[in-house]
Amino acid sequence: MGHHLSLFRFFPLVAARDNEPEDRAMSERADTPPDRDLPGTILETPRLVLRRPVRADAQRMADLANDVGVAENLSNLPHPYGLDDALAFIDNTEAGPARWTLGLYLKDEGSRFVGTASLMPRDGERFVLGYWVGRPYWGRGLATEAAQALSDFAFGALEADAVAATSRVTNGASRRVLEKCGFQYAGQGMGPSLFYRGMVPIDRFRLERSIWTSLKNWVKTGVGA
């Protein structure tokens, strides 16, 4: 029986600045992966169920992921992307306790697979958020809903101090998703791109626990609703 968390939405607000040194959480916690495996984690949002993908999703995943617009914005998605890639990806989601890779299933469409969202350790960060949504589903707020759900999961069940994310500097949609979730710009860098077989300029973002807590409290008290 998995954890089944019902999540309420939180709304993007101008967040108060955190006075803590930005890298405190990272230096204290980066090398300590979560000690709890929540293998059957299922998250629920108003329109999505987030759960571990299964092999039966592989063809649909391959169809949606085999898209230049997806591959060029992710760090390590093979392109072209076929059934074997999807099967390997799905099998790998069973791997470890420190990473959560969940499929996004749209309730309205009979719980069809529409993308993925993940939390994993990377670059000294304990939790790095990533996501993609199939092109037919862009522009409906689904990535934002999934990103909020995984952020809530990280700060709630996993007791994260911060969640990090990166996006290519050219990826305005992803930047907007992160802004809508309360993430703050944390500088530029270079990140790997399997699609371009090299490094590409990226923007870094972080959502600190104190800001996430403020956002949740503002929603509870009705501020900004």
Ligand X SMILES: CC(C)(COP(=O)(O)OP(=O)(O)OC[C@H]1O[C@@H](n2cnc3c(N)ncnc32)[C@H](O)[C@@H]1OP(=O)(O)O)[C@@H](O)C(=O)NCCC(=O)NCCS
CB-nearer residue toward ligand X: 39 or 136: 136
> What distance in Å separates the CA atoms of residue 110 and residue 179, rounded to the nearest whole number?
30
CB atoms within 10 A of CB 109: 11
Segment near ligand X (CB under 6 A); pick from 22-30, 58-66, 86-94, 138-146 = 138-146
Tokens of 47: 């329109």
Question: Which residue has the CB atom at the shortest distance from ligand X?
Answer: 172
Residues ≥6 apart with Cβ < 8 Å to 162? 25, 26, 125, 126, 127, 206, 207, 208, 209
Nearest distance from residue 181's CB to ligand X, in Å? 9
Using CB under 6 A as the binding rule, whether residue 142 contacts ligand X is answered as yes
Segment near ligand X (CB under 6 A); pick from 43-51, 54-62, 135-143, 208-216 = 135-143
CB-nearer residue toward ligand X: 38 or 99: 99
Contact mark string toward ligand X, 43..82, x via CB under 6 A: --------------------------xx--xx--------
Nearest distance from residue 170's CB to ligand X, in Å? 8
Using CB under 6 A as the binding rule, whether residue 176 contacts ligand X is answered as yes
Nearest CA among 38, 24, 27, 5 for reference residue 209: 24
Q: What is the secondary structure of 3-31 as a DSSP string? A: -EEE-------PPPPP-S-TTHHHHHHTT
How many residues appear in the chain? 225
Nearest distance from residue 68's CB to ligand X, in Å? 10
Binds ligand X by CB under 6 A, chosen from 8, 138, 185, 196: 138
> What distance in Å separates the CA atoms of residue 213 and residue 85, rounded to the nearest whole number?
38
Using CB under 6 A as the binding rule, whether residue 129 contacts ligand X is answered as no
Using CB under 6 A as the binding rule, whether residue 131 contacts ligand X is answered as yes
Nearest distance from residue 19's CB to ligand X, in Å? 28
For residue 135, give the 3-state DSSP assignment: helix
> What distance in Å separates the CA atoms of residue 167 and residue 204, rounded to the nearest whole number?
7
> What distance in Å separates the CA atoms of residue 157 and residue 218, rounded to the nearest whole number?
20
Nearest distance from residue 141's CB to ligand X, in Å? 4
Q: How many residues bind ligand X (CB under 6 A)?
A: 21
Using CB under 6 A as the binding rule, whether residue 187 contacts ligand X is answered as no
Q: Which residues of this chain interact with ligand X, rule CB under 6 A? A: 69-70, 73-74, 131-133, 138-144, 167, 171-174, 176-177
